[in-house]
Amino acid sequence: MAALLWLIPLALSLGAVALTAFFWTVKTGQYEDTKGDATRILYSEDRPIVDEDDLG
Amino acid sequence: MAEITPDAGCPSGQSTAQDLARTETGDVVDERLFIPYVQTRSNGNFAVDLMISGAHCAGCMAKIEREISALPDVQVARMNLSTMRLNVGWRGTETTANSIVSRLDALGYGAKPFDMQLEPLSAKAELKSLLKAMAVAGAAMANIMVISVCVWAGFDMGEHTRQILHILSGIIALPAVAYAGQPFFRSAWGALKNKHTNMDVPISLAVLLACALSIYETIHGNPDTYFDAAVMLLFLLLIGRYLDTRLRLRTGESAQRLAAMQASNASLIGDDGSITTVPASLIKPGDLLLIAAGERVAVDGEIIKGRSAIDTSIANGETLPAPYGPGDTLYSGMINLGNPLHMKALAVAQDSFLSEISNLVEAGEQKKSKFVRIADRAARAYVPIVHSLAFLTFVGWLMAGGSLRTASLNAIAVLIITCPCALGLAVPAVQIVASGRLFKKGVLIKSGDALERLAKIDTIVFDKTGTLTLGQLKLTNASEIDADMLALAAQLARGSRHPIARAIADSAGDGPIADNLEDIAGEGLRAKLDGKIVRLGSASFVGAKAHDNIRDDVQVESWLKVGRAKPIRFVFKDVPRMDARDTIKALSAHGYTMELLSGDTADMTAQTARTLGLKNWTGNVSPRDKLAHLTALKSAGRFPLMVGDGINDAPALANATASASPASAADISRAAADIILQGDKLSGLVTALLTAKDAQKRVKENLSLAVLYNMIAVPLAISGHVNPMLAALAMSGSSILVTLNALRLARH
């Protein structure tokens, strides 16, 4: 039974974290163009992870 | 000139053609058109929102973003593919807007500035808060359910453990209800204050009572609480509320986009006589404007100088141009066919015709807003029944010797279980599916209740010019004219923006433009080709005489004279839309009564009615008569659908049971109409009417399902057999059933 004392608060705080994350996505307008965002990832241009100049 | 006819289904067609024509005349996309819309950011950078036309897919989006980001100074270019708006931010000077627009033009996309003040901020904020409320209710529901499962499973749980779990549920549920329930509490309170009831009254009551009862039971250590049911109720209802609000926002944005794409430019005459091109939306009353030949009037105004023939079909439905002179009023959307005019912009209030029209429209819209949606009608019948049932349960249990607690417990159970949860989803779910289906077919439905009104339609009243017809002249006697002569006429015609010239150019297709072309205002065109003087224009301009086959029947005509040869006659007519006949046939097959009401002459109206197979028609109808006719139809017990595009149709559109406009309609008509038909097609009307009927059928099915569920659940609740688990199962089960039934509509 003692496990409940810390498991339930832990579960609830995890839920709270997820909810906060969701609020953040709403606030930053991530649901305003679901159509565009869904496809944008497919068209994003690849850029070298390390700048070529730095390699020289 | 090949792009004069707007591409079907592409709202950009028209504006692109205009822009191209401007470019041809050397008047390249003017940066000043966009500057007024450029916003200055706090860090000194600039930003502008552009409506993009011609972009259809993610590929277009990627191309636009890549190319515009590559421009010097541009810091960010992000396109919203759902609203087709491109947001660009840059540093440096305001005039970069010009290079952005030219670059877009070079890429093959049209751009119009978007007025950020038109952004429906409050609707967007409402949608966001509903989404957050939904998330809170959902998260709380999931957590409470986990606890509830433990309580229901029970095993050898002690009383104290159970009480702790109930307290925990309460700690999660109460703040969640306080947050997520607000949309309902506010609406219910608003209705009660005005001595109405709506669906939110029983919802709020059920939620609040469930919470109050649960708190009481928790404190007294009793076995059952309804925290889970209260939160789940809110979650399911918020889904419906969110979908409904999103539908309204989306269609509102689409309608706004249509308006923005058709917004035109005006030539402003400065104090020093200089001419600047500015967006029509920035014109103030009193501004002096130049209306060039062939140009569409951008704002309402009074002619100061000049005389010309004006295509007035947008205002009164007449196909034939009328002579206008100083002192006459021009309305936006009219086309100047002849000489350049100077015009003073008018405020709406200054003009009796337009203010009368807007008063009539407003009156109609007020009447329409009194339309009670089917969900609210159901709620009005439902609320008293449910509340008396709960009251009777309470009294009944007391009289049967039950304790006060048992009596109130069962009465509250009745209220919770009858809470119109399925009812809240029954209607929006169907309407979302239906309007999504119509949107794909190019029909824009402005609201859910428009769909309900559309389902009741039994009579359809059409306007003629611009609705059943294209409102554009077409050459009708091409077969009588020599191909050589037509080609010759087209060489002249391609150099002019006059509607008649465009009709000839359209009919002849692509080809060369005459070099030394003279445009004699109000008369015609003249050029020297192969050593001969060629004239194209009015009968008097070419010197056509009575024996040259001049007829005095009503039609638009033009003459071509090559050298000294006999003039050749070109006849033009406003032709019906391609699918007008088929649409009318399909509608009559579905049992709709139809008639034609036109502001045009009786002859012209009769001719169109005959061609299209319409038996009932009336010509020479004033805007007031149109309105009176619709009112008469309504008081005869009919439900008329008005289909029209002109300013003269607006009062009738606003007063009809439901109304439709083509996308090319006048602003005031498009605003008054319930549905907008995009592209050059009328056939969307048939789809809209049938879908509305389907949707209404589905809504009624859903409501019956909700009633059926209540018929089973209510006796159980009255007799005291409902526990929280049963309430939760019944509510979610009925909601899922209703949603699935709505989704069947999408499969057609």
pLDDT digits (tens, 9 = 90+) for B432-450: 888 888 888 888 888 778 8
Average pLDDT over residues B661-683: 85
Identity of the highest mean pLDDT range in B223-237, B239-253, B369-383, B421-435: B223-237
Instruction: Give the best residue of B67, B81, B157, B253 to mutate against chain A (max A CB count within 10 A).
Output: B81
3-state secondary structure chain A: CHHHHHHHHHHHHHHHHHHHHHHHHHHCCCCCCHHHHHHHHHHCCCCCCCCHHHHC
pLDDT category of residue B349 using cuts at 50, 70 and 90:
low
CATH fourth-level superfamily of B472-574? Calcium-transporting ATPase, cytoplasmic domain N (3.40.1110.10)
Contact indicator for B412, B210 with CB cutoff of 8 Å = yes
For residue B579, is pLDDT > 70? yes
* Alpha carbons B604 and B572: distance in angstroms, whole number: 13
Average pLDDT over residues B135-152: 91
Give pLDDT, residue B3: 32
Half-sphere exposure of B566 (CA within 13 A, CB side): 8
* Alpha carbons B264 and B247: distance in angstroms, whole number: 28
Give pLDDT, residue B25: 33
* Alpha carbons B291 and B553: distance in angstroms, whole number: 30
Question: Which chain B residue lies closest to A26 (C-alpha atoms)?
Answer: B128
Question: Which chain A residue lies closest to B161 (C-alpha atoms)?
Answer: A1
pLDDT category of residue A45 using cuts at 50, 70 and 90:
low
* Alpha carbons B306 and B99: distance in angstroms, whole number: 37
pLDDT category of residue B398 using cuts at 50, 70 and 90:
very high
With an 8 Å Cβ cutoff, are A36 and B62 in contact?
Answer: no
Write down the H helix ranges in B70-120.
96-107
Instruction: Give the best residue of B84, B131, B155 to mutate against chain A (max A CB count within 10 A).
Output: B131
* Alpha carbons B533 and B560: distance in angstroms, whole number: 11
The model's pLDDT over B28-63, given as tens digits with 9 standing for 90+, comes to 455 566 777 888 888 888 888 888 888 877 788 888
**Angstrom distances, CA of residue B628 to CA of B617, B651, B652, B655, B686:** 15, 10, 8, 10, 26
Would an 8 Å CB–CB cutoff place B56 in contact with chain A? no
Q: What is the DSSP letter of B463?
A: -
In chain A, which residues have their Cβ closer than 8 Å to the Cβ of B132? 22-23, 26
CATH code: domain B1-119 is 3.30.70.100
Instruction: Give the best residue of A39, A44, A46 to mutate against chain B (max B CB count within 10 A).
Output: A39
Same fold, B1-119 and B431-470+577-693: no
For residue B708, is pLDDT > 80? yes
pLDDT category of residue B334 using cuts at 50, 70 and 90:
confident
What residues does B648 pair with on adjacent strands? none
With an 8 Å Cβ cutoff, are B58 and A12 in contact?
Answer: no
In chain B, which residues have their Cβ closer than 8 Å to the Cβ of A20? none
Domain residue limits, chain B: 1-119, 263-350, 431-470+577-693, 472-574
Averaged confidence pLDDT in chain B: 82
Would an 8 Å CB–CB cutoff place A47 in contact with chain B? no
With an 8 Å Cβ cutoff, are A43 and B61 in contact?
Answer: yes
Measure A44 CA to nearest chain B CA, in Å: 7
A34-43, B3-12, B280-289: range with lowest mean pLDDT? B3-12
Structure tokens that stand for B216 in this block: 């009481």
Structure tokens that stand for B144 in this block: 């409470």
The model's pLDDT over B530-550, given as tens digits with 9 standing for 90+, comes to 888 888 887 778 877 644 554
Class of domain B263-350: mainly beta
Structure tokens that stand for B348 in this block: 């709406």
Structure tokens that stand for B76 in this block: 């960010």
For residue B132, is pLDDT > 80? yes
* Alpha carbons B427 and B375: distance in angstroms, whole number: 7
* Alpha carbons B361 and B732: distance in angstroms, whole number: 43
Structure tokens that stand for B45 in this block: 């950078």
CATH assignment of B431-470+577-693, among 3.40.50.1000, 3.40.50.920, 2.40.50.140, 3.40.50.11900? 3.40.50.1000
pLDDT > 90: what percent of chain B?
16
